[in-house]
Amino acid sequence: MNETERIADQLKRAFHGEAWSGPSVREVLQGVTAEIAAKRPIADAHSIWELVHHITAWVDIVRRRVAGEAVTVTPTVNFPPVAEITEAAWQESLKAMNDEEERLRNGILEIPESRFEQPVPPTGDSVYVLLHGAIQHSLYHAGQIALLKK
């Protein structure tokens, strides 16, 4: 397995299971309904649903930035609002997250290792750091979701 495949594998583990740190994003979301996802058990904290939108947004942002697109992150892009609280809308949010993760994972496999040190605007972080950051970021929020479920 080359480094590109290892990074894609770590992203898969972060979302689908066997993450070293604990439950993956999808594992921690098992059993979460729209009602649970929309609750705000901590007054000024984001809901599970908002965190799912945030994870989805950043997986998309990383994929697009690595592909060379200049993506501006506004507050609405960073934490897209929840439009309606229905089970169908919740399932759509979960599907969007899964689809974006798969798109990034497949995109990673197309990146030559020679690009890993290339800086990515606007932060100047390397492709390598940005990809690992997406994995770390997703697992960080999986931990928050686990706490919000309690």
Q: What is the pLDDT of residues 101-129, one digit of tens each?
A: 999 999 999 999 999 999 999 999 999 99
Q: What is the pLDDT of residues 14-46, one digit of tens each?
A: 999 998 889 999 999 999 999 999 999 999 999
Report the distance separating Cα 87 and Cα 108, nearest Å. Answer: 32
CA-nearest of 146, 150, 148, 141 to 44 is 148
Q: What is the pLDDT of residues 124-135, one digit of tens each?
A: 999 999 999 999
Give all domains of the chain, ordered by start, each with its CATH number. 3-149 (1.20.120.450)
> Coil, strand, or helix at residue 5?
helix
Predicted TM-score (pTM) of the model is 0.96
CA-nearest of 16, 13, 79 to 48 is 79
